[in-house]
Chains A and B, each alone.
Chain A
Amino acid sequence: MTHQLVISDLHVSVGDKEIIRGLSLTVNSGEVHAVMGPNGSGKSTLAHALTGRPGYTITGGSATLDGVELLTMSPSLRTREGLFLALQQPLEIPGVRPTDMLVAAGANPATVHESLRREADFVALRPEILERFVNVDLSGGEKKRAEIVQLGVLQPHFAILDEIDSGLDVDALGLVARRLFAATSEWGLGIIAITHFRRLLNELQPTTIHVMSAGRIVASGGPELAEILERDGYEPFRAQ
C-alpha cells in the first residue's frame, strides 16, 4: 500500500515572527525528497512544526497523510499516523529505557528487543548502549544513530530527517544513509531529508531536491540541482 504526505500552503510562526510562508510539498511512499537551503530559511522550523513542537504555531495551511489532517492532532497521534521526526539534537530522557519508550510508542513488546538489536547492527551502534536510558551519556553521533534505530523499530510511513548528517563521521553517515535508503524499498518509507551537505544525498539518492529560502520552496528539481547548489551556492535562489 502506498501513502501520501501532502503539505499545502503551510504558514508557521515562532513568537510573532512568521518563519514558514506558504510552503507546499507532496511526498509519496518510497520517495526521497531533500530540502536544502541557507541558515534561517526555515528548514528546521518545517520539521518541528509538522511534529507539533511547543512554541511553533501553525497560522495557515494543512498537512495531510492519506487525506487525514495531521496539524490538528496531538504530536503523538501524528507520529502514530505515520510521520516520524529524527531530530538534529535528540533529547536525553533520564530514567527511561529505550525499549519502554518504544513499547509505549506502539512497538510490539514481544519483538522490540530483537528489532532494536537488528537496527543497531545496521548503523553499527553497540546494542548495550540501548540498554541505558534514552540518549543519556551518548555522544552526538551515537544519538543520531539511535534516532535511526528508533525509526527502524517503529517503521513509520514518512520520516523527516532534521540534519541527521551533522555530527556523523563519514563511515557512520554512510551506514545511516544506506539504512534509510533500504527502508524506502523495505516498507516504502518516504523521506524528507533536511540537509546542508551533498554527501548524504550521494547515498540516499533523492528523487527530488527542493531549495528553501525565506520560508518557501523556491526551486525543485532532480539530483542535478544539488550539483548546481554546490557550484553556485544559494545566492541565485534567494527569495525576493
Chain B
Amino acid sequence: MRTCHFMLLLSIALAGACQEQDPPPDSASDPGRAEVAIDMEVPPLQDELATIYRLIQQDETGSARIRLRNWMEANGEDARALFLFGLAYQREKRYAPAADWYVRATQAQPIYPPTWHFLGWSRYYLGQPRLSEEAFRHHLQLTPGEADSAYGLGLVMLDDARLDDAQSLFTRSVELLREQDGRNESRAKALFRLAEIQELRGDDAQARALLERALAASDRNEEAWFRLIQVCRRLGDEPAVLAAETRHRELVTQSPHGARP
C-alpha cells in the first residue's frame, strides 16, 4: 500500500512537472531565455504546502518562505518543503540560493524527483555545466519521459559543442512532447534548438525547415523568428526575411527585454 501510494504521488508529481503554463512575468528580462516553466501542478501533498506553492506562483515568495519555515518547525525537514524553498528563489531568478535549497532537498526525504530537474536548471543558469548535467541526468534516470530535462541536458551539450549528443536530446524532447497535449511552446523550443544545430553544421535549408516547424508549433517563439531571419537572409529569400522581420518586431514590441534595469 505504501509503495502504491508513493508511486501514485510520484506519478502525479511528474505529470504535474510536465504541465506547461505561462512563464514567470519577468522571464523576459532573463537573457538566458531558455526558461523552464516552473508552474507545474502542485503535487498533492499536504494542504499547507499546496497553499505555499500557490503563493510562489503568485510571486508572494517572501510570505511563502515564512510559511515554509513555520511548516518545517512543525513537521521537520522535508524534501518537498525544501524543494519549495528552492522554487521560491528560482521564481525570483536567484539561482544560487535556489540551488542550495534543492541540494538540501535531494538529501532529505521523501524522495522528490522534480527537485533534480529544477536543480539542473539552476546550475545551468549559474554557469555550472557539469553540475547541471549531473542533475538533469539524475532526473532523466528517474523519469525518462521528462522532455524538459532532455531539453536542458541538450543545452548543456550544446555549450560543450557536443552537437550529436545535443541533437539526440532535443530530438528525444520533441518525440516525448509529441505525445503530450498543450506543450506546443516546449516543442517549439526543442525544434528551435535542433535548427540551431543544423545552422552550426552549415545546413541552412534544414535549419529553415526546422524553424518553420518550430513556428508552426508556436508562432510566439521570438528567438525562432529571429533565427529564421538570419537563415532566410543567407538563403537569399528576401520576402521570407521581410515577413519574419515583421513578426519578430511585433513580438519584441510586445515583450521587450534587456539584461539590466
The answer on A and B forming one complex is no
Question: Which B residues fall within an 8 A CB radius of A?
Answer: none
Question: Which A residues fall within an 8 A CB radius of B?
Answer: none
